[in-house]
Structure 1
Amino acid sequence: MTPGARLQSAISVLSDIFKSGRPADRVFDTWARSNRYAGSKDRAAVSDLVFTVLRRRAELTAAVGSDDARLLAFAALTLGAEQGVDEVAALADGARHAPEPLSPEEQTALSMAVLPGESAPPWTRFNYPEWLHPEFEAAFGNGLEREMAAFMERAPTDLRVNTLKMKREKALAALTGEGLSAEATPWSPWGLRLTSRGNVLGLATFRDGIVEIQDEGSQLACLLAGAAPGEQVVDLCAGGGGKSLALAAMMKNHGQIYACDTDARRLSGLTPRVRRAGIRNLQTRVLGPFTPDMADKDLAGLASHADCVLVDAPCSGTGAWRRSPGARWSLSPEMLMGYRAAQAEVLTRGARLVRPGGRLVYVTCSLLPSENETQVEAFLAVHPAFTPQPWASNWPEHVPLPPAPHGNWLRLTPASTGTDGFFVAILRREARS
């Protein structure tokens, strides 16, 4: 592909994302499948421009005074790289597969474009919706700018070593032997962070179930859940099952883990992953609707029997914005309200399963207080049998503590821990007197 064709492809992908509201990675994958002539370098160039625009959308919009996908793509090239307006304009020569020439208005907007300075509002400089600013301000206070700046960076690729099959040191050597370089993650005892690019899914270490792709923050949430051999563990919102696999490895194939979800299609993808990982103590359950004032027929046999219930709740996903920069622009107040309602429901559903003395572990990939602290406090107000446990007191002794404030809740962020953003609360059901 010519540079002009790459630019036009990025414009087409961005236009689809802006108009349809579909997840950016799905739109890009659809484009890639429909344009198989595009080589790996072409796909990388188009992807880089698309996700640069999504990551810096507010800045670029302020710079050119427009939210038009085409103009933002040109602006990303002129403001984010060492290319002049004339050089970028030359790519739009109207040739086959290239963009149409710049209009006089577009030429003027690009010539006068300047990125926002320090006097601009933080939501413009750090690229997030203005309506979410009160939430982030409540979460981070004086540290807001440092925290939001970290979300502008690209996320690393982390792997979790399946300790049922291999220790981390040997897995690292195996990756090296396959041509990838990596290093141990600083906090998770099972984590490896890639320091080179490569097709992980094509590696023997992946096909043989030795490693899984999983952010270190997600690994730490599992670590804090404390699943132990012989326990009865419920992963109530298992989805694709990444955390279920980690919990099962912690249990060393002893005890039982129930991976549950309302989406049968997503849950079905867990079966081959379980087989590949050599896990024998996991079963899946597809859940129907939940009615708080009625018996939960899908989980009746587990009521008050689970040692640990992990509620990896549906949420806004603000903690994963480094990986999904387009998600920050598709989130709406109505969607957030729906997530909050779902969180309250799954907490109530999960609470019924915890045995006296057991624990309910609430996890979100969100940094919004309304989905985290506020949600847990509302649950505790109507479930007095549960008591929050300081996260550090539940941390394994042999694992270094991440740099997070001590208290009842653990909050991980890209700025503080170099992970995706996560919130974890451990709620213990008091034993009967």
Structure 2
Amino acid sequence: MTPGARLSAAIDILVDIFRSETPADRIFENWARASRYAGSKDRAAVSAIVYGVLRHKAELEHALGAPAHEVTPRLMAAGWLTLRAGEEADAVLALMTGEKHAPEPASEEEAAALKADALPGPDTAPHIRLNYPDWLQPEFEDAFGERLEPELAALMDRAPTDLRANTLKASREEALAALKEAGVEVEEGGLSPWSIRLLKKANLPALKPFRDGLVEIQDEGSQLACLLAGARPGEQAVDLCAGGGGKSLALAATMENHGQIFACDLEARRLKALMPRAQRAGCRNIQTMPLHPWVPGEADPDLTELTGRADLVLVDAPCSGTGAWRRSPDARWRLTTEKLAAYRAAQAEVLERAAPLVKPGGRLVYVTCSLLPSENEDRVAAFLAAHEGFAEEPWTKHWPEDLPRPASLSGIALRLSPATSGTDGFFVSILRRRA
């Protein structure tokens, strides 16, 4: 592909992303599969433009003239090359010839915008410089206070790829050795006792250690949430929002395949991926349970038999995903006040569904990959106000004494973030049901 064709492809992908609800990574993968002529360097170049625009959308729009005039995906893609990739405006305009799959020539207005563009200065509003919706400003101020700028800046970085050593099949040292033998550059993670961090990209599904179940892809923050859940051999555990089952697999390892894990989800389609993963990982104590919708106050159509039986109920609640913006930069622009309200309602409902399952003395562990207090502390406070039989316990009480503690933002719950702990953003609250 010529540089002009790469730019044109990036523009087309961005148009699709901004006009649909389909995640950006899926749109990009669809393009890559359909574009067999695009080599690895072509895909990397197109990806850099697409994800560069998504990470820096607000500052690009500001630099290129918004709100005075519309800043199109086409102009943002060209602007990313000049503002962030260091290309000269004339060189980028020279790519826009309309020939050999290149974008159509720039208009006078587009050319003027590219030549006049400049990154926002330090006095520009934080939501523009740090690229997030302005209506989230009060939430982020509440969450971070004086640390707002470094915390939000870290959300614009690319996220590393972390693996979890599956201790049902190998120690972390054995998994590391197997990966290195397969030619993968890796190192130990710094927080989770199971974490392995990739230093360079690798085709993991093609690797023997992955196919043999020695490792699973799982962010280190997610691993820490599973560690704090404290699942022990012989317990009865419910993973109420299991999805593809990554946390269920981690719980199975800490339980050493003894006891029972009920992996539940409203989307049976997502649960179907779990059992092949469990078989590969050597997990034998997981049972999947597709759920039906439930109306609070009525009998549970699926979980009545588990009432009061669970030592652990893990609620990995549906949320805004603000803690994972490094991995899904388009998600920050898809979030709306209406969607956030719907997430909060879903969180309250799933907590209500979880509470009856916890036996006296058992624990309900509430987890989100959100950084927003309205999805985290506020939800826990509302739950405790309605359920006097539960009490929140400090996360430090449950942290293994032989492991160094991760840096956590203030509060009784564990609060992880890219800037503070080097992980995705996670919130983990441990709620004990009184005996």
Q: 1:38 & 1:22 partners in 2: Cα distance? A: 22
For residues 30-67 of structure 1, the C-alpha deviation after alignment (integer angstroms, 9 at most, x for no partner) is 11122122111111111111000000000000000143
3-state SS, counterpart of residue 428 of structure 1 = strand
Aligned equivalents of 2:89, 2:244: Cα separation in 1:
45
Matches within 5 A, 1:306-321: 306-321=310-325
CA displacement 1:130-162 (0-9 Å, x = unmatched): 001110010000000010010111100000010
Residue 89 (structure 2) aligns with: 85
Opposite residue 25 of structure 1, the aligned amino acid is D
Letter in 2 for 1:280: R
* Offset at residue 355 of structure 1 (A): 0.2
**AA of the residue aligned to 1:429:** R
1:370 match: 374
Match of 1:343 among 343, 347, 351: 347
Give 2:359's aligned residue. 355
Partner of 1:235: 239
Show CA shifts across 1:162-189 (max 9, x none).
0000000111111111111111111000
Distance 2:370 2:198 in 1: 24
Q: Is 2:26 aligned against 1:26?
A: yes
- For residue 406 of structure 1, report the CA deviation from its aligned partner: 5.9
Classify the secondary structure of the residue corresponding to 2:234: coil
Structure 2 counterpart SS, 1:375: helix
Instruction: Answer yes or no: is the 8 Å Cα contact 1:392–1:407 preserved in 2.
Output: no
For structure 2, the residue ranges without an aligned partner over 5 or more in a row are none
Match of 2:265 among 256, 261, 267: 261
**Alignment map for 1:408-423 (pairs within 5 Å):** 408-423=412-427
Match of 1:10 in 2: 10
Could you tell me how far 1:96 is from its partner in structure 2?
2.2
Partner AA of 1:242 in structure 2: G
How far residue 82 of structure 1 moved from its aligned partner, in angstroms, is: 2.2
Mapping of residues 150-299 of structure 1, within 5 Å: 150-299=154-303
1:42 maps to 42
| Contact 1:391–1:407 under 8 Å retained in 2 | no
Find the aligned partners of 1:145 and 1:49 in 2 and give their Cα distance: 24
Contact preservation (8 Å) 2:239, 2:261: yes
How far 1:221 moved relative to its partner?
A: 0.4
Deviations 1:319-366 (A, max 9, x none): 000000000000111000100000000001000100000000000000
SS in structure 1 opposite 2:420? helix
Is the contact between residue 409 and residue 420 of structure 2 (CA under 8 Å) also seen in structure 1? no
1:394 to 395, 398, 406: 398
Q: Distance in 2 between the 1:326 and 1:15 partners?
A: 12
- Equivalent of residue 102 in structure 1, options 106, 118, 132: 106
What CA distance in whole angstroms lies between the structure 1 residues aligned with 2:295 and 2:97?
A: 60
AA aligned to 1:360 is L
Tell me which amino acid in the other structure corresponds to 1:153: D
2:53 aligns to what?
A: 53
Using the TM superposition, give the Cα deviation of residue 405 of structure 1 relative to its aligned residue in structure 2, in angstroms: 4.5
The letter of the residue matching 1:411 is: R
Amino acid in structure 1 at the alignment position of 2:27? V
Aligned equivalents of 2:411 and 2:105: distance in 1? 58
Runs of 4 or more, structure 1, over 2 Å off, are none
Cα distance change, pair 171–408 in 1 and its aligned pair in 2 (3 A): same
Displacement after TM superposition at 1:2 (Å) = 1.0
Q: What is the rounded CA distance, in whole Å, between the counterparts of 1:22 and 1:118 in structure 2? A: 34
SS in structure 2 of the partner of residue 359 of structure 1: strand
How far apart in 1 are the matches of 2:202 and 2:281?
21
Question: Which one-letter code corresponds to 1:36 in the other structure?
Answer: R
Q: Secondary structure at the match of 2:150?
A: helix
> Per-residue deviation at 1:232?
0.2
Which letter maps to 1:179?
G
Letter in 1 for 2:240: L
Provide the alpha-carbon RMSD of the alignment.
0.9
Match of 1:426 among 416, 426, 430: 430
Shifted more, 288-297 versus 99-108: the winner is 288-297
Kept in 1, the 8 Å contact 2:222–2:247? The answer is: yes
TM-score normalized with structure 2 length: 0.98
SS in 2 for 1:297: coil
Amino acid paired to 1:430: R
Structure 2: how far apart are the matches of 1:67 and 1:326?
Answer: 17
1:97-136 alignment, distance < 5 Å = 97-136=101-140
Equivalent residues, number: 431
